[in-house]
Amino acid sequence: MAELITGLDAGRVRENVARVREELPDQVQILAAVKYVPLEELGTLAEAGIELVGENRAQDLEAKADAYPDFRWHFIGQLQSRKVKVIVPHVELIHSVASDSALRQLETHGTPETKILVEVNTAGEEGKAGIAPAALGAFIEQSPVTVTGLMTMPPFTEDPEASRPHFAALKRLADAHGLRELSMGTSQDYRVAAEEGATIVRLGTSLYA
């Protein structure tokens, strides 16, 4: 398990955000992933000017969002259908919807303001979350809440260029279904993701180191 990120410096985070911002088109949103940032460090992120944050775990999201409601909160972790009712009241966007059971829970607990991204398994990796590209249209049609775009996590690689085909595939799918938002790219490959049409990049290390 990764260690918690502590001792954050607001000035350093601000510099990192500014550097990343210069590398990205204006329309790309920088999301600070806070899975490993403890609640007591979130004030430092606010001081650094961070506005958009994403949490992976429903219980931590609830605690952190209650303590820091002025952040714009997204849920970016693997979505367990039984946690949907905990997540919905705190977030403006859920990035990782990929199961019929999650759609059923969204039908019960979603609101007219609830917006989601559908997670797509662009590589067809066995055992990995995500809708198969061929099944995407039917899945979107079943959604009881607004689908604004797509999300993907390419196969792990240390070469950012290896992720490019998967980002490009997600962009083609989004265009084919008339969707605008694309959540793709992390600290190691966000530049490539932006070149292929990302509208949200999910960053951790590149902001905190």
Does residue 120 form part of some domain? yes
Does residue 174 form part of some domain? yes
Mean pLDDT, residues 59-68: 97
Does residue 4 form part of some domain? no
Does residue 1 form part of some domain? no
Classify 1 as helix, strand or coil: coil
Does residue 3 form part of some domain? no
Distances (CA, A) of 120 to 44, 82, 134, 142: 33, 20, 10, 15
Per residue in 182-204, pLDDT tens?
A: 999 999 999 999 999 999 999 99
Does residue 2 form part of some domain? no
**CATH number for 76:** 3.20.20.10
How much is the pTM? 0.95
Extended strands (E) in 152-192: 181-183
Per residue in 6-51, pLDDT tens?
A: 999 999 999 999 999 999 999 999 999 999 999 999 999 999 999 9
d(CA 10, CA 35): 18
d(CA 66, CA 74): 13
Question: Which residues span the domain enclosing 58?
Answer: 10-208
Number of domains in the chain: 1
Mean pLDDT, the chain, integer:
96
Portion of the chain with pLDDT greater than 70, in percent: 99
Does residue 94 form part of some domain? yes
Does residue 5 form part of some domain? no
